[in-house]
Structure 1
Amino acid sequence: MTVKITEDMKFSPSFEYIDNGIEHGVLSPFETKEVILKKGETIADGFKPLSVDIKMLKDVPVKLRDGVTIYTDIYMPVDADKVPTLIAWSPYGKSAGTAPRYKNLFTMLGMGIKWESGLPKFEGPDPDYWVAHGYAIANPDMRGIAHSEGNTTMIGTQEGEDGYDLIEWIAQQDWSNGKTALTGTSYLAFSQWFIAAQQPPHLTAMSPTEGLSDAYRDIAFIGGIPDKNFLDRLDVNHVSAIKGTKREDLTLEMDSDPLIDAPVWQDKIAQPEKINVPAFVIASYANTLHTMGTFRAWRGLGSDEKWLRIHDSQEWPYYYDKDNTEELRRFFDHYLLDRDNGWEDTPQVRYTEIDFEGNNQLDIPAESFPPAGSELTKYYMNGITRTLQPAPEAAEIPVKYSVDLPGRASFQMTFDKDTTFVGYPKVKLFMEAEGYDDMDVFVQVQKLDDRGNILSEFIVPNHGAALQDFTQDGASALRYKGAWGRLRASMRHLDNDTTDEIPTYSFDRVEKLSDSEVVEMDIVLSPIGLSYKAGQTLRVVVGAKNELGSVMPGTPGAESDNKGFHIIHTGGEHASYIQLPLMK
């Protein structure tokens, strides 16, 4: 039977699966068969020709422990004897590599499609490359997607168990060497935390590239502020060809269970401490959807063998970059093909320092993150000069702003020598709301050049006018503007796992504000590796508006619930500050 938590879930009808060989890719028409894709063949116009003959096992049925059958496409060498398998687990169509929506997306980002074969599942590995190097690729349609049976759930125990069952099924096939790994970006990384925590015996390694690790904290209620917009965008992928199929509807669950202690949200919190296989984790500072969750899962990983690489790009250009793919293969070759290639000598951590001026320092080796030499340092807000300083003012000085205009208040410090911050920043704010019983507070850490201009950088290849438009006030996953955080004041209560370095909220209660009440808010900010030259300025912006905007073009960002005025208290007994990881 399905897992018990599904009884607490809310479901809506799945969207219709359009089975026309276009909407979901040229290979999507359903038929269980074996196909040989020939070297030099082009799967669809615009994609690169195949570099090798590939055996495709199409629409292979896999029966799960509760009797539900899902279908997977498997690509392997035509002369496969015993090969390892890489698994791309997500609700995105297993044959949708040539779907118009993905071609259009990669074109918009400036990546184009000539670099890939058209066979990859969205955000998953390209079978053309991996088959040529002795691997099989499994692209499943998970429960409730396309022709797979059952109702779709979205992250948690059910997906974990289903992934376990697929792994163990693969290990028993006569073409398998019994070794499997999980790979992919975004959802394909998110799902890895849950599948690997089930400890399937034949899971050999994993490599999550930027993904959430807690559905409540990382997507539905970031900082306790509800945001249904991106979930609505994800839901359209839950398509079924089977009449009556349902999909888990997280937006309904947000309404029925707005606090994290509800069982449905508890089931969507990853337990990386249960993971025991080698892990190569890829993160960045820039991804407003994935950065927090990736670093959180990394910190909790139970694996004895684990590596972290922090890059300076967006996840898709990174994942499909030729050199990065080669490095990922070194990791998998070591564990899945038992090759003595020196992978174990790879530094446990490699981090990046961003400068927003084209001189980022990449792959700096370290034994931990934050690296040795990173020291938490407080810079106090001065309400009169609007500066940041080493010690608080003796007298308390309030700074008041309207939630409409200007909607923010900022504090700055200009450096007299080159300065770098690497690690976990936070702000501690003493604030009150005037004219309302709550506050949604948004924080940004910016870099200003020596002329006062705010700096940022694109993390996708396209820097054209359309992307300028989208990313000026939104599409934050495509353009990095600095560390950020947000918190609803009524959700400010800290849980037992909180530390001075990284605040953690309980999200299990609502504590509204009373008139003239000054509340203490510890706001966790996204990890940083940010360098400043002498004469450049760090600016901290505290405001009532979500100035980062949406995650991706075409999707609205979270809306704030603010009225009246916000007051930031500085100095005296209410000395607000930012805490930054200063490299000594």
Structure 2
Amino acid sequence: MKSAHSSWETPDPGYWTKQGYIIVRTDERGSGQSPGLLDTMSRGTSEAFFDVVEWCSEQPWSTGKVGLLGISYFAGTQWRVAARKPKGLAAIIPWEGMSDYYRDRVRHGGILSDRFIDFWWKNGVQPNQYGMPGRAARKWGRDTIEGDLDKATLEQNRRNQTLDTVTHKFRDEDYYKTRDYSPEDITTPLLSVANWGGILLHLRGNVLGWMRASSEHKFLHFIVGRHDLPFYYAHCARLQRSFFDCFLKGNDEDGWKSGKQPRVKLCLREGDAGVDDPERELLFPHREEIDWPIPDTTYTKYYLTAEQQLSTTSQSNVTSFAYDAMEGKPLCFTHKTSARLEITGHIVAHLTVSASRSKADASPPSDIDLFVTLRKLDQSGNEVYFTGTMGDPVPITKGWLRMSLRKTNATNPGHHKYLPYRDYFSTDVEKIAENEHYEVDVEIWPTNVVLESGQSLVFEVAGHDTQGVGKFSHEHPEDRKPEDFAGINSIHIGGNHSFITLPVIARG
């Protein structure tokens, strides 16, 4: 569903104009042909987006109703402008788009996800800055109409995200506060489309943005596949059009307002569709639900055992497993199923952890970074991979936590037994003491997977990135200083010390 006028991650004019829609693309402030300060995801860009929406609604060729549609950045910006309630905004479709700049994109559990930020900035943003010389020669669109800018002016006219995200660590800093907003302010009809494979960027934001939005008409769909493909599938374009036909044109043949459409629609990852194989992925079954999290979810504890298994029964004997924080092999705990097991929803890992120096003359660690992963193995013990954002093989899902930012805020409405809420404020920092035991809840990103009898679920704990992280790794030397983290980490098990809580759906 792409034409000659299509561009990356945006709706295709070749399709939409034939359906009676006008497509407006705008270069964000400081990029392309728009002068100004280049400062992505900032308050200024949201204010400019607000003006664009209102301008569109006032044009003589406009019905007065505006819809927003796009993938990734062009989805993430929708949440922010919708919360500002611009005149004319009638519907939004954030398709694979984060809603929380700090938690979804920059700092997973407080840990800087630097590699993708660096990749995105250097390959997608800075080369397109307003006034950047040589764009046409590099096939980055036309050169700036008003002429090139010199190096000093270009540097003055941008906020470098690769530097800002290293410097700014906490949500109570102005850098994040000025980017923050309340999803509860969103009342616009919305269709949030989350990709189960987006386990390091957009998945969480699509789900939590939907959960927090106050819209009367809001829908949550889950898909699979490479980040840039499903948006353009014919059946997905029809879905988008149906939603906009209802809320922009008043044509509700498909029942978005009447209740005919499901509030939540799942793609069930049952079986093995391979990696980056669209034809096989389209064979995954779907199921409709009335809400999210699924109301009849059975939250089930699986305890870590001395045999490195996962058991629904806790053990009385207490022991521990240790690993090197910076380079050690991950610890793995396995549950082999004896019957079909569906896991759909939010997962929490409740762990008892400690840290110690690796040798007597070393300095004791003052912090722990926890990297946790869920994996699926087939009956032969081979891992079943899923399609990640860039078509890469990924596990079921992942989660993270920096122990010095472990403090939760149980008074926040977003805090649930299945989803711990953290402010990540500078005032929350609590360093750890050597050999002290700490109990902590680690948020694991929402997921779906179905295991058949004889297949296995693996829970993995490490002090660093493991397979499946792709271009979203956490490895910045300023954020992961050996003097803070190097040493031996231990997971303590037995009794109620360490377990994961899985959202089990007991249906056939």
Specify the alignment match of 2:206 in structure 1: 294
The whole-number CA distance in structure 1 between the counterparts of 2:54 and 2:422 is 37
1:139-196, Cα deviation, whole Å (9 max, x unpaired) = 1011111221211221142222211111111122111111111110100011001111
1:276 paired to 2:276: no
**2:270 corresponds to which letter in structure 1?**
D
Say whether 1:183 aligns with 2:97.
no
Quote the Cα distance in structure 1 between the aligned partners of 2:102 and 2:407.
Answer: 16
Q: What is the one-letter code of the residue matched to 2:345?
A: G
Q: Deviations over 1:306-350 (max 9, x none)?
A: 111101223321101111101110111111121131232111100
Identity %: 27
Residue number in structure 2 paired with 1:426? 348
CA-to-aligned-CA distance 1:205-229 (integer Å, 9 cap, x gap): 1000011112211222111112332
Partner of 1:543: 462
| Secondary structure in 1 matching 2:355 | strand
Contact 2:394 2:469 in 1 (8 A): no
What is the rounded CA distance, in whole Å, between the counterparts of 2:375 and 2:473 in structure 1? 23
Who is 1:531 aligned against? 450
Q: Quote the residue 2:26 is aligned against.
A: 140
CA deviation vs aligned residue, 1:81-137 (integer Å, no higher than 9, x gap): xxxxxxxxxxxxxxxxxxxxxxxxxxxxxxxxxx52232232000000000111100
Give 3-state SS (helix, strand or coil) of 2:285's partner. strand
Partner of 2:439: 520
SS in 2 for 1:334: helix
Query: Where does 1:356-375 land on structure 2 (aligned, <5 Å)?
Result: 356-358=271-273, 361-375=284-298
CA RMSD across the alignment: 2.0
Task: Verify the 8 A CA contact 2:270 2:285 in the aligned structure 1.
Answer: no
Equivalent residue letter for 1:505: R
CA contact (8 A) 1:458 1:479 kept: yes
Q: Is the Cα–Cα contact under 8 Å of residues 114 and 474 in structure 2 kept in the other structure?
A: no
Residue 495 of structure 1 aligns with an amino acid whose one-letter code is N
Give the TM-score of the pair, scaled to structure 2. Answer: 0.84
- With over 3 angstroms needed to count, the CA separation of the structure-2 counterparts of 1:292 and 1:395, relative to structure 1, is same
CA contact (8 A) 1:179 1:204 kept: yes
Amino acid at match of 2:293: P
Q: Distance in 1 between matches of 2:327 and 2:12?
A: 49
Q: Which amino acid aligns with 1:451?
A: S
In structure 1, which of residues 215, 240, 263 is the aligned counterpart of residue 130 of structure 2? 240
Structure 1 residue 557: Cα displacement: 4.8
Partner of 1:88: none
Quote the Cα distance in structure 2 between the aligned partners of 1:454 and 1:575: 28
Long gaps (5+) in structure 2: 132-147, 274-280, 358-364
Determine the structure 1 residue equivalent to 2:144: none
Q: Is the CA contact 2:114–2:473 (under 8 Å) kept in the aligned structure 1?
A: no
CA deviation vs aligned residue, 1:358-410 (integer Å, no higher than 9, x gap): 3864331011122232111101111x211111222112211112236642111
Q: Which amino acid aligns with 1:524?
A: E
8 Å CA contact retained: 1:309, 1:363: no
Q: Secondary structure at the match of 2:180?
A: coil
Match of 1:395 among 317, 324, 340: 317
CA contact 2:183–2:209 (8 Å) conserved in 1: yes
Contact 2:386 2:396 (C-alpha < 8 Å) held by counterparts: no
What's 2:505 paired with?
583
Partner of 1:216: 102
Q: Which residue of 2 aligns with 1:43?
A: none
Residue 549 (structure 1) shift: 5.4
Following superposition, the deviation at residue 356 of structure 1 comes to: 4.6
2:403 corresponds to which residue? 489
Q: Which runs of structure 2 are paired with 1:41-52 in the superposition (5 Å)?
A: none
The SS at the match of 1:298 is helix
**Alignment of structure 1 residues 33-44 onto 2, 5 Å:** none
For the residue of structure 1 that corresponds to 2:339, the secondary structure is coil
Question: 238-247 or 331-340: which moved more?
Answer: 238-247
User: Where does 1:463-502 land on structure 2 (aligned, <5 Å)?
Assistant: 478-496=392-410, 497=412, 498-502=415-419
For residues 274 and 512 of structure 1, the distance between their equivalents in structure 2, rounded to whole angstroms, comes to 35
Q: In the alignment, residue 286 of structure 2 is paired with which amino acid?
A: D
Amino acid in structure 2 at the alignment position of 1:271: S
> Does the 8 Å CA contact 1:310/1:351 hold for their aligned counterparts?
yes
CA contact (8 A) 1:310 1:363 kept: no
Larger mean CA deviation between 281-290 and 561-570 belongs to: 561-570
Higher relative contact order (CA 8 A, sep 6+): 2
Q: How many angstroms apart in 1 are the aligned matches of 2:397 and 2:166?
A: 30
Residue type of the partner of 2:261? T
Q: Which moved more, 1:275-284 or 1:364-373?
A: 364-373
- Compute the displacement of 1:571 (Å): 1.0
Aligned with residue 151 of structure 1, among 37, 43, 49: 37
Matches of 1:152 and 1:534, distance apart in 2: 53
Sort the Cα spacing of 1:218 and 1:483 in 2 relative to 1 into closer, same or farther, 3 A: same
How many residues get paired? Answer: 451
Give the AA of the match of 1:485. Answer: G
**Which of the residues 421, 424, 447 maps onto 1:504?**
421
The answer to whether 1:303 aligns with 2:215 is yes
- 1:243-295: per-residue Cα shift (whole Å, max 9, x none)? 32512223333344321111220232342211111101100221021111111
Conserved 8 A contact 1:429-1:576: yes
Cα deviations by residue, 1:526-546 (Å, 9 ceiling, x for unpaired): 111111111111110111220
* 1:571 aligned to which of 491, 494, 503: 494
After TM superposition, give the deviation of residue 550 of structure 1 in Å. Answer: 4.5
Matching of residue 312 in structure 1 with residue 224 in structure 2: yes
Other structure's SS at 1:178 match? coil
1:540-583: CA deviations, max 9, x gaps? 0111220145444xx765455542211100013x5200100011
What does 1:311-330 align with in structure 2 at a 5 Å threshold? 311-330=223-242
The one-letter amino acid of 2:267's match is T
Matching of residues 111-150 of structure 1 within 5 Å? 115-150=1-36
Taking a change above 3 Å as real, the CA distance of residues 224 and 557 of structure 1, as seen in their structure-2 partners, is: closer
Contact 1:159–1:194 (Cα < 8 Å) also in 2: no
Letter in 2 for 1:240: Y
- Mapped to 1, the partners of 2:470 and 2:207 lie a distance apart of 18
Work out whether residues 3 and 14 of structure 2, in 8 Å CA contact, stay in contact via their aligned partners in 1. yes
Letter in 1 for 2:333: F
Q: Hey, what does 1:381 align to over in structure 2? A: 304
TM-score normalised per structure 1 = 0.74
Q: Distance in 1 between matches of 2:63 and 2:28?
A: 23
CA shift in 2, pair 1:480/1:431, >3 Å:
same
* Secondary structure of 2:266 counterpart: strand
> What SS does the aligned partner of 1:176 have?
coil
2:265 to 324, 337, 350: 350
